[in-house]
Amino acid sequence: MRETILSPAMTPRGSTELDLETVSRERDATAGSTLERVAEQGPLVYADPASRRTVQLLTRIAASDLPVIILGEAGTGKEVVARQLHKESGRKGPFVSINCGATAAQKTRVGPYVVDTPSGSSGAALSERWFEAASHGTLFLDEIAELPSALQAQLLRLLQESEMARAGLSNPEPLEVRLVAATRIDVSEAVAAGQFRLDLFYRLNVGQVRLLPLRQRRGDIAVLAQHFVRMHARRLGRPAPVLNEDVLAALKQHSWPGNIRELENVIRFALLVAPDRELLPQHLQLSSPPASSPARTAAPRQKSDEGSQTLSEFLLHMFQTPGPRLLNGLERQVVAEAFNFTGRNQVRTAALLGISRNVLRTLLTRHGLLTFRRRKARGRVSD
């Protein structure tokens, strides 16, 4: 059976992509002999039916000029998918990667090169430089929900007009750029919080690709681990060690909050500390305990059910006094409790709620949860 896996770190940025490689392995079992195949094509590694459907979707939309937004948790391979779209599109221009979350400076990546654009540049100048760098290629906007409002307005204008004025030319030129965006948070939440333009969201959300987290495709873990063992052992100039059943069982039980990127890091570390021929469970540096068995999770599940019942009772009580401020009051309560739970740490609160820090600051300000104090020594205001 031939299947597909998405892996986020097959090649270093700017390096030559992997050639087509097919690895076949026969395994004898008591029920008979089965043939497992892993196919590596460029930066994608294949193994799961759900991932195969994702790759098929990429193939269908690659040749189109329509914008695409890629949704998925951190470490699920969003940029790798964007690069695969660019590769299959047949575009002659470069793949340009922009981190929209960078505030001090914007970094434009063209092939192996990175160009720093000063943060003082205007929104028009900055976004137009991105499109110029990606001419006849693909512009990838990572963490699009973090894009500053000034750049959102300029990006929307460029997408609406589909043309851009160039220095030294009397007439604007059409945009010959494929736009691909990605985010790990729900953009609709950023829109609801007033942090992201609704009209820009509709412009970007034409084609949507959703990447599953690794915990939802545990059948891929063993094949991905074997791939990373081969790849990093080759880079270390050593034989690829064997992954025994105990190691595979430990890997499959882990929850993988960091997804495929975390799995690769675990394998890389294990190769550094393991002997030449075999990896053992003690070589795996897992960030959290493996997922527990159903018997051991019975008590936490019971607590979760009790908590859900308490929350339902609270909501029913609130619904007894409906009004225009009901939803606003519930939102404030959730944000306030999360903010206090993290010790009023904005970064941790944003991560807890699954939103960006910019969206969180908007919510904190809206509900009066940010306290400001004046620094007497410097005369500056901080929160």
> What pLDDT digit, counting tens, does each position of 127-141 carry?
778 888 888 999 999
Q: Which 8-state DSSP code applies to residue 65?
A: -
140-188 per-position pLDDT tens digit: 999 998 888 888 888 898 888 877 666 555 667 788 899 999 999 888 8
User: Which H or E run includes 115?
Assistant: strand 113-118
pLDDT (tens digit per residue) in 26-82: 223 322 222 233 334 445 776 788 888 888 999 999 989 899 999 999 999 899 999
Write down the pLDDT at residue 165: 63
Both structure tokens of 352: 């807890």
DSSP β-bridge partners for residue 114: 109
Instruction: Return d(Cα 139, Cα 254) in angstroms, integer.
Output: 35
Crossing angle for the helix pair 149-161 and 123-133, to the nearest 10 degrees: 50
Surface-to-core class of residue 11, CB atoms within 10 Å of its CB (0-12 exposed, 13-18 middle, 19+ buried):
middle
- Does residue 221 have a pLDDT over 80? yes
Token pair in block for residue 6 = 């998405």
Q: What is the mean pLDDT of residues 313-340?
A: 76
Q: Which of 244, 258, 185, 183 is nearest to 215 (CA)?
A: 258
Q: Which residues contact 293 (CB under 8 A, 6 or more apart)?
A: none
For 266-316, the pLDDT digits (tens) are 999 999 888 767 888 889 988 754 444 444 444 444 544 555 556 666 676
Compute the distance between CA of residue 213 and CA of residue 259 in angstroms, rounded to an integer: 6
pLDDT at position 35 is: 24
- Local structure of residue 215 (DSSP, 8 states): G
Buried b (16+ CB within 10 A) or exposed e, 175-209: bbbbbbbbbbbebebbbebebbbeebbebbeebeb
Q: How far apart are CA 87 and CA 82, in angstroms?
A: 9
pLDDT above 70: residue 118? no
Q: Which residues contact 272 (CB under 8 A, 6 or more apart)?
A: 236
Provide the pLDDT for residue 70.
95
- Type and span of the H or E element at 161: helix 149-161
Q: Which domains, and CATH codes, for the chain?
A: 64-210 (3.40.50.300), 218-283 (1.10.8.60), 320-382 (1.10.10.60)
Q: Can you tell me the distance from the alpha carbon of 353 to that of 339, in angstroms, rounded to the nearest whole number? A: 10
- Written as six digits, the tokens of 365 are 């300000």
Q: How far apart are the two ends of the chain, measured CA to CA in Å?
A: 57
For the chain, the C-alpha Rg in angstroms (whole number) is 24
Residue 119: how many CB atoms within 10 A of its CB?
Answer: 12
CA atoms within 13 A on the CB side of 140: 25
- The label of the residue with tokens 């609130």 reads 318
Percent helix, strand and coil across the chain, each to the nearest 5: 45, 20, 35
Which of the four pLDDT bands, split at 50, 70 and 90, describes residue 369? confident
d(CA 377, CA 273): 51
> Is the distance from CB of 46 to CB of 2 less than 8 angstroms?
yes
Structure tokens at 59: 């193939």
Q: Is 278 helix (H, G, I), strand (E, B) or coil?
A: strand
Of 181, 158, 184, 172, nearest to 74 by C-alpha is: 184
Q: What is the pLDDT of residues 223-248, one digit of tens each?
A: 889 999 999 999 988 889 988 899 99
User: pLDDT band at 5, cuts 50/70/90?
Assistant: very low
Q: What is the DSSP letter of 293?
A: P
Identify the H or E element spanning 45.
Answer: strand 44-48
